Structure 1
Amino acid sequence: MLFNSSLSTSYILSRTLTKQKQTFLVPPLSKLNFLSYCCYNKTIKSTTKQGRLNGDGSSNCNNHLSLSQRRGWCSQSSAEPTKEFLRSRKRQKFSELPTSLVRIENPHAKNYQNNVAKSRQLIAEYEAVRKASLAGGGARAIERHVKFHRKLLARERIKLLLDDDDEDSFLELSQVAGMGMEYGNVPQAGMLAGIGRVHGIDCLIMANEATVKGGSIYPIGVKKQLRIQEIGLQNRLPCIYLVDSGGAFLPLQSEIFPDKNHGGRTFYNIADMNSQNIPQITVVLGHCTAGAAYIPTMSHEVVIVQRIGAIFLGGPPLVKAALGEIVSTEDLGGANMHSSVSGCSDHYASTEPEAFTMVRDIVASINQLPAPMSESGDEPLYDPLELLGIIPAEDQHNMDPYKIIARITDGSRFGEFKKRYGPNLVTGFAHINRHLVGIIGNKGGIGSDAATKGSQFVQLCNQRGIPLIFLQNTLPDSLQEISSTHHEIYSSNRMKSHGQMMAAIGCANVPKITMIVGNAFGMDHYLMCGRAMSPNFLFSWPNAKIGLMESDALLKSITQETDLSEERKCKLQEKLSHEVTALHASSRIWNDGIVLPQQTRQVLTRCLEICRNSSESSTNPFLRM
């Protein structure tokens, strides 16, 4: 029997879904489910006509039963739809992506295996740099810190602070920041930072890594601290500062002190968050020297640790040099003095573990409800590890966004929006561990139609309060084909629609999370919510590339204007090729960290949990086209 319309299909199914004399009409079936239902009906006719079943009660239509049984549509003992399938059809909010569109045809194919090998190579390079960064200042510095100064390491301090059962949910940010800088390696930019739960409340934690350069603050350290504070402000997270700092690295003071987004901006941010009732808590675990002294004095509550904690603008050596006086650290700015004389500290702790118990008590008193525990959604139907083979070893702008979506969303389900219009931009709704999100992914140049579609979709999500996930993979400008006869009209329409989409993204008040899965070149980088659009979080895969244009095109443009020798060209090519890599970008904090492709779903889930408090009501008008 052939069905000429989805209405007839819905009517037939409505007869099946009659319960307690009440008829439930179901919406039109997706293409995949429609074909399966036709196969089911054909099986019933065939079985009835032949008048025989297999020994286990199933029909001879093995192709149909394998599909239906695998999806849970039919029981193994009969061809009838299961009750669970009929109930799930009503619960299911979006359709599964068609298997033919997202599956890996041949995982043993040479091309697929080359892609996997390239991905594993990039992951190995990243892990090597990450391991070096997490090692801090090295074995000697760690031994001096632990045995001589008798202090805990930054990671041990954070572990004591977090809930015992929640250490795995700590989202560490910018792990390779500061590696390969012009002034040398500064592991983790001298600071361990991330978001974890204290009494069930998501808190932003910044801990100075005193084993790195003696706790001195470098320009990249200032940049990391400002970015972490921006995340705290955007997501309204209580901020906990674990201070053990030697102050600014003086030879680079011109890059640390004078400008708007230099060290002084830290204090402005603390004051701004204070005014917005975002708790600021400081634990003094070492010397707070020079500018670092203002962090505790501007916080809501301060804990200082006996013997190791001290706050002063200038330490004993500076006092002796300026005034000729000899004074001890404890008398000048120790724990006892600030707790009983100056009042700069609110809580006096004898040991570090006692200090973290006090901090946990402070967090318990800030009158915030714990974050609700998220229930896990349906796992994707396709293995996330297959993402390693989906990333092309060459020409990664050809990556298929549908295959990525199928491996990060609940049940690989996706409700696509405006599929036939502006097809280079994929937009639609899905769930990631039960979080409803709007997903935007590009698979080519974003033309006028695609940008108009993207603008409409962003505004829809903004009005409905739905977080936005951007899967960014732009087409290099050198590969975008524009007809010469229509260049003027194309360019003008493209600029107008691009401006409209950027305005929609910039004004959207919902959480925005960007994952650079491939290229981030040219203007399309802004359209896909690059750093300039202030996303709540921005991460990159190890294969990601970011820059004004691809390195080859950039070299060609430079050499056209300047005559360079072959040797200088080779050096410039090497430099440009490195500067577009994800590692270079992450070390400069152009992103919030590198995420392995197979961990994308988990990281997005954690970010969505953190962003719960960031949404604000919007009164922006909705412009359809």
Structure 2
Amino acid sequence: MTVMRSTLNPSTTDFARNSEAMVAKLVELDAEHAKVLESGGEKSVARHRSRGKLLARERIEMLLDQDSPFLELSPLAAWGSKFHVGASVVTGIGVVAGVECVIVANEPTVKGGTSNVWTSRKIFRANDIARENRLPMISLVESGGADLPTQSDIFIPGGRMFRDLTRLSAAGTPTIAVVFGNSTAGGAYIPGMSDHVVMIKEQSQVFLAGPPLVKMATGEVADDESLGGADMHARTSGLADYYAVDEKDAIRIGRRIVARLNWHKAGPQPAPNPLPPRFAEDELLGIVPSDLKVPFDPREVIARLVDDSDFDEFKALYGTSLVTGWAQLHGYPIGILANARGVLFSQEAQKATQFIQLANRSNTPLLFLHNTTGYMVGKEYEQAGIIKHGAMMINAVANSTVPHLSVLMGNSFGAGHYGMCGRAFDPRFVFSWPSARSSVMGAQQLAGVLSIVSRAAAQATGREFDEDADAMMRAAVEAQIEAEALPAFLSGRIYDDGIIDPRDTRTVLGLALSAIATSIFKGAESFGTFRM
């Protein structure tokens, strides 16, 4: 065993300052999550309950096995947009009848559960997770369809929702639709393309066109029940496979469907009885400095995440700005790459490339812990080959076929974000801490570059350079980049799967690794050409 040692001192002023800053960010985050939990507001919720209906999260809670966790995904989708934070849908991973499933539940109290562009993107992300990890998909349907005033943003890309369902089914991954209310127009294809469909007596309605549109299009007069009610679909059209008497009965049937799937994990099993870390998870609050320009040792984070704080470091004396090594987390083997001092040099890139190749050779998932300002720039480093070495690392990340998980702890800037497996490189899961920042470069650096370009342009054309205007421009750009680098902004655009409390990181990663182990995975046998 290689049990890690910790030099972290929770009694120091720096630790207290860092912890206070992190807690303040968590309080702000709680306020944003509270907006999501309000659903459509007091009046909408009361109206929904007056109809004898459950809220989306209540339906999920009843569907899940008792006392089992629910890993909610993208809870802040649409944050900062004109749409309700949460994007009128709840998505996540939970255990149903002993089987880990992806669950998508429309939130009917938010504009009738209508879908906007962020709703679609959030569901697309849930579909990707179901496909990549071979997780059964359960749709809890009650939606008024597309948000018509913004249909131009939804209609064309929205067809992917139906494509995803059919591809899941074709791959042998079960899809289940439990219809709690309206499933109209394009939404009718959610049950129409699912393997198993549950509908509720005098409550579920599935039709391509409702009575008003049918009358307008054909002149035919029809009521909701005869056109698309549960009774009709159970007795006449055959769309309904199961006929429930109420919502609780529908959830019971949904659980029985999952229980009868004969679904088993195909991936590796974790080691039994994993030991917790030897250091307190609460100490994760005080590790990341409140000023991200100050470096921190990611080994202190690793020691509070991995089983028994047991970590075998790889190339410890080479490329020391990147920590790499092997561990287990909740019994699952993992390889870890963690930024130590922000900047990635040629040695770090080469070290990462070799480590990624070894992980693929041993079929070991990789965990990337981000705190990087990118690859080093400057004449000395360009001449030493930083471009080809950085490209080598990015090549390895892009072509690695073992599962990747990413956690943005601090900075994640420029091509360093790519080399550490940012969203564009398809990690199975990516989460952020409230302290995270991500953009093409730091705000001051970006504003400074624009200033230098403007100054050079003025000089080239013989114009007098306006220092006051330049100062105003720099201040405005810095403020913009700082705002756009915030984790809530990025999470709102579904660039991560959620902002998590650092103290929950081990649990969240354990749930993610367990979901990943539902599918078989194998390391890459070849990579792109490495420029040596």
* Superposition TM-score, scaled by structure 1 size: 0.79
CA distance in 2, matches of 1:506, 1:481: 22
Aligned to 1:59: none
User: In structure 2, how many angstroms separate the alpha carbons of the residues matched to 1:546 and 1:328?
Assistant: 52
User: Which residue of 2 is the match for residue 361 of structure 1?
Assistant: 256
Please list the CA deviations of residues 269-313 of structure 1 after superposition, one character each: whole Å capped at 9, or x if unmatched.
Answer: 111111110001111111111211111111111111111111112
* Aligned match for 2:48, one of 139, 145, 159: 145
- Richer in strand (by share): 2
Shift, 1:549, TM fit: 1.1
**3-state DSSP class of the match of 2:87?**
helix
**Once the 2 structures are TM-superposed, how far is the Cα of residue 461 of structure 1 from its aligned partner?**
1.0
- CA positional deviation for 1:373: 8.6
Alignment partner, residue 453 of structure 1:
351
2:7 to 94, 99, 103: 103
Matches of 2:516 and 2:56 in 1, distance apart?
A: 25
> CA–CA distance in 2 between the matches of 1:460 and 1:163?
38
- The one-letter code sitting in structure 1 at the alignment partner of 2:33 is R
Q: In structure 1, how many angstroms separate the alpha carbons of the residues matched to 2:13 and 2:59?
A: 48
* Larger CA deviation: 317-326 vs 512-521: 317-326
Alpha-carbon contact 1:414-1:430 (below 8 Å) kept: yes
- Work out the CA distance in 2 between the residues paired with 1:570 and 1:211: 41
CA distance, structure 1, for counterparts of residue 255 and residue 353 of structure 2: 44
Say what the alpha-carbon RMSD is for the aligned residues.
Answer: 2.1
Spell out the pairing of 1:79-90 with structure 2 (5 A cutoff): none
Identify which of structures 1 and 2 has the higher relative contact order when contacts are C-alpha pairs closer than 8 Å and 6+ apart: 2
Write out per-residue CA displacement over residues 129-158 of structure 1, whole angstroms, 9 at most, x where no aligned residue.
0111121111111011110x3211111111
Query: Is structure 2 residue 227 aligned with structure 1 residue 322?
Result: no
Question: What is the match of residue 468 of structure 1?
Answer: 366
Counterpart in the other structure of 1:42: none
Q: Is the 8 A contact 2:344 2:374 kept in 1?
A: no
2 CA distance for matches of 1:135 and 1:185? 14
Match of 1:206, SS state, is strand
> 2: distance between equivalents of 1:618 and 1:461?
7
CA drift of 1:433 comes to 1.9
Q: Which residue of 1 aligns with 2:191?
A: 296
Q: Give 1:91-240 correspondences, 5 Å limit.
A: 94-97=1-4, 99=5, 102-105=6-9, 107-147=10-50, 149-166=51-68, 169-181=69-81, 184-240=82-138
- CA 397–235 in structure 1, closer or farther in 2 if over 3 Å, else same: farther
SS in structure 1 opposite 2:495? coil
TM-score by length of 2: 0.92
Distance (whole Å) between structure 1 residues aligned to residue 307 and residue 13 of structure 2? 30
User: 3-state DSSP class of the match of 1:345?
Assistant: coil
Question: Is residue 377 from structure 1 mapped to residue 282 from structure 2 by the alignment?
Answer: no
Structure 1 runs not aligned, ≥5 long: 1-93
Q: Which residue identity is paired with 2:22?
A: S
Shift of 1:110: 2.2
Pairing 1:512–2:407 present: no
What displacement does 1:550 show?
1.4
- State the 1:324 CA deviation: 3.9
User: How far off is 1:524 after superposition?
Assistant: 0.5
Structure 1 residues 397 and 285: CA distance shift in structure 2, 3 A = farther
Judging changes above 3 Å, is the alpha-carbon distance between structure 1 residues 376 and 188 closer, same or farther for their aligned structure 2 residues?
Answer: farther
Q: 2:287 matched to 1:390?
A: yes
- Are 2:402 and 2:524, in contact at CA under 8 Å, matched by a contact in 1? no
Say yes or no: does 1:247 pair with 2:150.
Answer: no
Label 1:397 to 1:286 Cα distance change in 2 as closer, same or farther (>3 A): farther
The letter of the residue matching 1:267 is F
SS at structure 2 position matched to 1:474: strand
Q: 1:215 to 1:611 in 2, by over 3 A?
A: same
What do the CA deviations read for 1:360-398 (whole angstroms, capped 9, x no partner)?
Answer: 111122121379797542222221211211111113561
Q: Shift of residue 565 of structure 1?
A: 7.2
1:286 partnered with 2:181: yes
1: CA distance, partners of 2:421 / 2:470? 39
- Could you tell me how far apart the structure 1 residues matched to 2:128 and 2:217 are? 38
- Matched AA of 2:42: A
Matched to 1:489, the amino acid is Q
Q: Tell me the SS of whatever aligns to 2:93.
A: strand
CA distance in 1, matches of 2:387, 2:473: 37
Closer, same or farther: CA 481–110 of 1 in aligned 2, 3 Å: farther
CA 1:559–1:619: 2 relative to 1, 3 Å:
closer
Residues 522-555 of structure 1: per-residue CA shift (max 9 Å, x gap): 0000000100110000000001001111122222
Counterpart of 1:271 (choices 163, 166, 171) is 166
Residues 310 and 335 of structure 1 are in contact (CA less than 8 Å); yes or no, is this contact kept in structure 2? Answer: yes
Map of 1:257 onto structure 2: 155
Distance 1:531 1:161, change over 3 A: same
SS of the residue corresponding to residue 525 of structure 1 reads helix
Alignment equivalent of 1:489, drawn from 360, 383, 386:
383
Q: Tell me how far apart the structure 2 counterparts of residues 509 and 437 of structure 1 sit (CA, whole Å).
A: 14
Tell me which of 488, 492, 509 is aligned to 1:583: 488
Superposition deviation, residue 254 in structure 1:
1.5
Return the offset for 1:583: 0.8
Aligned partners of 1:332 and 1:601: how far apart in 2?
50
Aligned partner letter, 2:71: L
1:412 to 309, 312, 319: 309
Cα shift at 1:356: 1.3
Aligned to 2:461: none
User: Kindly tell me: are residues 230 and 396 of structure 1, through their superposed partners in 2, closer, same or farther at Cα, counting changes over 3 Å?
Assistant: farther
Partner in structure 1 of residue 424 of structure 2:
532
What per-residue deviation string (whole Å, max 9, x for no partner) do you get for residues 421-468 of structure 1? 211111100111222111110123222221111111111111211111
Tell whether the 8 Å contact from 2:399 to 2:524 is kept in structure 1 after alignment.
no
Range with bigger deviation, 364-373 or 217-226: 364-373
Q: Deviations over 1:339-377 (max 9, x none)?
A: 111111211111111111111111122121379797542
SS at match of 1:344: coil
The aligned amino acid for 2:328 is H
Identity %: 39
Confirm whether residue 312 of structure 1 aligns to residue 215 of structure 2: no
**Structure-2 separation of matches of 1:397 and 1:615:** 41
| Mapped partners of 1:508, 1:590: distance in 2 | 21
Specify the SS of the correspondent of 1:291: helix
2:223 and 2:272 mapped to 1: Cα distance? 54
- How has the CA–CA distance of structure 1 residues 540 and 309 changed in structure 2, closer, same or farther, with 3 Å as cutoff? same
Q: Is the 8 A contact 1:137 1:187 kept in 2?
A: no
SS at match of 1:469: strand
Partner of 2:324: 427
Q: Distance in 2 between matches of 1:132 and 1:508?
A: 39
Q: What secondary structure is seen at the aligned counterpart in 2 of 1:282? A: strand
Q: Which structure has the greater CA radius of gyration?
A: 1
CA drift of 1:499 comes to 2.0
Of stretches 321-330 and 301-310 in structure 1, the one that deviates more from structure 2 is 321-330
Instruction: Determine the C-alpha separation between the residues in 1 that align with 2:190 and 2:83.
Output: 26
Describe the shift of the 1:572–1:214 C-alpha distance in structure 2 as closer, same or farther (beyond 3 A).
farther
CA contact (8 A) 1:397 1:519 kept: no
Would you say the 8 A contact 2:359–2:523 is kept in 1? no
